[in-house]
């Protein structure tokens, strides 16, 4: 649900709208090195004005929205940007105070919004499409950063995860791969897309006009997680049967019986079942 009307316009809705031909992306770029793309419809996902309208509407609350200050703030100062509202006779905390958020932004604070796909239909459509294609956990983080900010909201990335950085407004200078000679660097203007593979150290510096950036994270299901699930499925079936009669066998017989049963289980196991369980349990 969204609190304000968003005007119809073109916006990316699939991976091909961000990186071009998906086959070329997966064969040449994916999981290998950073790469910069241009996607003219990226700014159509959300405008800065629409974001301020959403904050004023009152449907986005903590913990989905926060402020990151360039200098430390006391808990009382941080809490001053939020208010308590009475909704159906219930006092609900964590609503942004729009004027305080604007004041904090003008004072150098970045506004971080987690999971904007929960309230932006266009971002939701893109995230849902990517989740179907990657068969993993896909989510987004929206950052409104003031001029010349160096924001941790953009530097962060999930362990073992891939990142797509979409420049919705303003400009941002990125470096990736550390400080060694030949390290990757890119300046993203509105319509820029940056792919960053897992484990890629990165820093971001916002330009003179500030920036609105959408960072989409992709965390694939790990082999270890699939192994855990397939092992659990084994213990729920054949493994339980062996457990019930193990006292009748010698140690050598137990090892042989488990090895045989486990090999048969893995050969017959539908990998899509384990993958579906992994995705549901994330």
**Where does 62-183 have alpha helices with state H?**
75-79, 98-106, 121-134, 152-155
pTM above threshold 0.85: no
Task: Give 186: exposed, middle or buried? Use CB within 10 Å, 0-12, 13-18, 19+.
Answer: middle
pLDDT in tens, 188-232: 999 999 999 988 878 889 999 999 999 999 987 666 767 777 777
Q: What is the pLDDT of residue 1?
A: 41
Domains in the chain with CATH codes: 16-220 (2.60.120.650), 223-280 (no CATH)
| Residue 143 pLDDT greater than 80, yes or no | yes
Contact criterion met (CB below 8 Å) for 34 and 186: yes
Q: What is the pLDDT of residue 85?
A: 87
Q: What is the pLDDT of residue 176?
A: 83
Of 6 and 17, the one with more pLDDT: 17
Contact criterion met (CB below 8 Å) for 110 and 149: yes
Contact criterion met (CB below 8 Å) for 153 and 143: yes
Mean model confidence pLDDT for the chain: 84
| Residue 5 pLDDT greater than 70, yes or no | no
Q: Given pLDDT bands bounded at 50, 70 and 90, which one contains residue 275?
A: low
């Amino acid at each position: 649900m969204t609190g304000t009307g968003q005007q119809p316009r073109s916006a990316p809705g699939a991976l091909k709208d961000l990186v071009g031909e998906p086959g070329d992306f997966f064969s040449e770029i994916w999981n290998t090195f950073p790469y910069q793309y241009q996607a003219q419809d990226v700014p159509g996902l959300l405008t800065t004005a629409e974001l301020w309208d959403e904050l004023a509407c009152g449907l986005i609350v903590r913990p989905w929205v926060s402020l990151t200050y360039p200098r430390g703030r006391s808990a009382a100062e941080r809490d001053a940007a939020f208010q308590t509202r009475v909704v159906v006779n219930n006092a609900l905390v964590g609503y942004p105070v729009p004027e305080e958020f604007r004041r904090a932004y003008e004072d150098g604070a970045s506004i971080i919004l987690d999971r904007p796909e929960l309230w932006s239909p266009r971002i939701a459509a893109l995230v849902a499409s990517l989740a179907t294609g990657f068969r993993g956990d896909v989510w987004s983080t929206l950052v409104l950063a003031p001029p010349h900010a160096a924001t941790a909201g953009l530097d962060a990335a999930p362990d073992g995860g891939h990142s797509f950085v979409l420049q919705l407004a303003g400009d941002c200078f990125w470096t990736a791969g550390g400080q060694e000679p030949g390290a990757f660097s890119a300046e993203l203007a509105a319509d820029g897309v940056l792919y960053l593979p897992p484990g890629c150290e990165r820093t971001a510096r916002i330009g003179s006009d500030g920036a609105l950036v959408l960072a989409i994270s992709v965390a694939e299901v790990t082999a270890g997680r699939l192994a855990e699930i397939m092992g659990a499925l084994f213990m729920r079936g054949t493994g339980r049967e062996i457990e019930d009669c193990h006292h009748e066998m010698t140690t050598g017989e137990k090892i042989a019986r488990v090895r045989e049963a486990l090999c048969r289980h893995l050969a017959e196991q539908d990998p899509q079942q384990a993958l579906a369980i992994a995705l549901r349990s994330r």
